Structure 1
């Protein structure tokens, strides 16, 4: 007989399949700690900074305008960029607070 029967190799349990997914899981964990988590932290810090804006703060917008906050509304600020020149700015477009005003002490 010239032809020998071919036998399929027996599949070796579930350990081989789990071992194939370990690198994929490790890549996801590394991406979470190097990319996603720091980005979530920056978003939270920006949200807190924008919520804490008040009249008198000097700010820089994402467009590069530097000015002083003169009026604070729900989702919009009025920023004075020059003497007598005021612009309305969406609150979320504030990139940085340059100088925060000191809270006014209550006279007792």
Structure 2
């Protein structure tokens, strides 16, 4: 009463014709869209993330004394000491903190120009 009747098609009408059609209708044809999605996911998501991580590691490796850094918490500071895994950051006059290199979000070099709306001091 609630379902509509389903009519079967003729056996020869739905059968794929040719080599390519028979190849795609088999088990490989059902895996092919999944493989295409994995390749698409790799090029759109994984590869750019790996490139950003590689660039960030290169930036962290090039930190030197006098650079201005932005920590992942948003704190700004000036690098006063560089060690293998840690960096000494001066966040105020006479206040130095030790920070893991991985917690540095952005590095601004010593010669970076000041924004136009800031006073030059």
Q: Shorter-chain TM-score: which interval?
A: 0.7 to 0.9
Which structure has more relative contact order (CA 8 Å, sep 6+)? It is 1
Distance 1:75 1:87 in 2: 14
CA RMSD of the aligned region, Å? 1.9
Tell me, which stretches of 5 or more residues in structure 2 are unaligned? Answer: 1-21, 113-121
Mark the CA change 1:13 to 1:26 in structure 2 (over 3 Å): closer, same or farther: closer
Show the counterpart of 2:102.
Answer: 92
SS at match of 1:55: coil
CA contact 2:23–2:29 (8 Å) conserved in 1: no
**Unmatched 5+ residue regions in structure 1?**
1-11, 103-108
TM, length-normalised to structure 2: 0.70
Aligned length in residues: 91
